[in-house]
Amino acid sequence: MKSRNKYELNLMRKSGLISAKALKKVLDNIRLGISGLELDRVAEKTITQLGGEASFKTVPQYHWTSCITINEQVVHGIPTERKINKGDLVSIDLGAVYKGWHTDCAWTVLVGKDGQEKRKFLQVGEQALWDGVEQAVDGKRIGDISSAIQNRVESAGYFVVRALVGHGVGKSLHEEPEVPGYGSQGTGLKLKKGMSLAIETIYAKGTSEVVLEKDGWTYSSADGSWAGLFEMTVIVGKERGEVLTDWRNIP
């Protein structure tokens, strides 16, 4: 992967802002009884109103703006009429494309106040993401990101899903290099300032294995245990990475 120039980075920043605002809007709309399809419409409306397009619709045969996964579902869940219930773990994964430049982000939330163990599970996944982001620095390597994520997840007793990984992002939604959530420090591609990566924590409570559901898209944990997904698009920096899709900073 080549580093992006200033013009390209500015377009990616705009794309990232659209993705972040859309993710925040969807998260703000999660409530008991709402369906994945309703949340998907919120995502599409927000991205369109902000001047972007749905990045996920550039994937062949995928016709939705977001992927929505619940409980044991890990990634690539098709939005359906399934209603969200109290205690559900709900993951929202979406992306925007702006003037040809893609960004990608995801977040998992617990619906309802109950579930101390589930809250801990999500806290570990989120911290693993930020641990990985901290390694997105010029001169580091992909393995440094991967190792940081793996160490956080596995030290808490959970499992990194190994069949699904982060990736480069930019002119396409999925580009080289792969950015696994597991690996060894000091290995893999050397990072350079201006590279753009979608860093992901993809993990489950009881297993690293996944199964593909009958819809041909949704991956679920092989043992039916909870799954979580946290993802940000990040520009590799000289001293620290620049997160383009941090919905938490949106007013």
- Alpha-carbon distance 156 to 151, whole Å? 9
For residue range 18-66, list pLDDT tens digits in order: 999 999 999 999 999 999 999 999 999 999 999 999 999 999 999 999 9
Q: How far is CA 24 from the centre of its chain?
A: 13
Has this prediction a pTM greater than 0.85? yes
Coil/strand/helix, residue 198? strand
Q: What letter does residue 194 receive in the DSSP assignment?
A: T
Please give the CATH topology (third level) of the domain spanning 6-244: Creatine Amidinohydrolase (3.90.230)
Largest CA distance in the chain: 47
Question: How many helices (H) and strands (E) would you count in the chain?
Answer: 4, 13
Mean pLDDT of the chain: 97
For residue range 119-153, list pLDDT tens digits in order: 999 999 999 999 999 999 999 999 999 999 999 99
Q: CB–CB of 137/58 below 8 Å?
A: no
- Among 106, 96, 103, smallest CA distance to 75 is for 106
Classify strands 196-204 and 219-221 as parallel, antiparallel or unpaired: unpaired
Q: CB–CB of 181/135 below 8 Å?
A: no
Residue 128, φ and ψ in degrees, nearest 5? -60, -40
Residues with Cβ within 8 Å of 45's Cβ and at least 6 positions away in sequence, in order, are none
